[in-house]
Amino acid sequence: MGKNAMRIDLLLNKLCLTKTRSIAKKASDKGLLLVNGKQAKASQEIKAGDLIHMKLYGFAWQFRITAIPTGNVAKKDAGDYYELISREALESE
């Protein structure tokens, strides 16, 4: 894996967008993650510029990855790696 790419399950966890890597994996297994409009597997490689749609924690998120972190990311710095486009509450069924 190159330095400019990272698995989506690892990336979502590093950027504090999911509480754990396994939550990100389960979300991908259930089809709740889309990358550039296509359903993503947990092993999907993410690069800067990729557009991610995620349905998790009662919200539909849409964000663009601006940079791939090289090491661990402090929670306060996580927002430096993505641009939040929208976050809308999902209607409960």
Output the average pLDDT for the chain. 94
- Model pLDDT for residues 9-49, shown as the tens digit of each residue: 999 999 999 999 999 999 999 999 999 999 999 999 999 99
Output the CA torsion 46→50→13→56 (10° steps): -130
Domains and CATH numbers, the chain: 5-89 (3.10.290.10)
Closest-CA residue to 54 (of 81, 3, 80, 88): 88
Cα–Cα distance between 34 and 13 in angstroms, integer? 16
pLDDT for residue 91: 84
Closest-CA residue to 90 (of 45, 35, 53): 53
pTM of the model: 0.91
